[in-house]
Structure 1
């Protein structure tokens, strides 16, 4: 099993956990998900360093599948964030401005439910940031794989002049 397939399997598992958290409203798993996403960034970097110019089309497709999973996870995170923000506003009502002026300990003891929703919102913001970073890294990796396939050389090599194509249209060179 390739490192990208392993990454895809882990993402699929995390996506399922995130979807379950979204459905149940239970956020205990979110911290664990955030930790595992951090580990995925390391795994992705490791997979990227092991790429060769012979990276197969299936490996590139696996990377596309990973990015699709990430985008689904981004949507779930956005939904959880929106729900947490709405519940936060409902719990506080007109006390929202006063709540936001309180010290952290006073927020937690005076309005524990609102504090919890605020924490969930912040955790989801962190998870969203991690997902965007992973997506960017995967996009870069896919680009490097494509460049490697085109050049037939190293993944960091430039495209030789003789491999570039020119298209003409009505005498104009594009």
Structure 2
């Protein structure tokens, strides 16, 4: 029966995690797995962005109201069409690169090295990564391309230059 199959699968999964030394009954959380792989920046970026799509919060609602600061505002999801398109393409590229670095030897015939390098080059040159809070929702014009591109190129974290940001560097470290 389906119930028996589900119970059996849960028991096997529980035994698997127990054999790996994981104390938590359902296995590690996604956050714990990200910490084990040292990809916390990737996890935080993707988690925060995706949780805004699946959980209601006032920020997600209010960001769809655009108009003159004095009103009236026009609320429609279409106000963010460009943002959501950029976000889905950008995050998809990050996940494909991460997948190739972590699992290509198991799941991909041949070497995707050339394609991965091309994606990395594109990501490194994108002048505006999808922000968690956008300039548009703050009723501000985005910075000029040249300015935002230059800022990203000279970004510093913890006193060290991060030319591609922590997210891309963590994905590269999966090799």
TM-score (norm 2): 0.28
Q: Normalized per residue, which structure has more helix?
A: 1
**TM score, norm. by length of structure 1:** 0.28
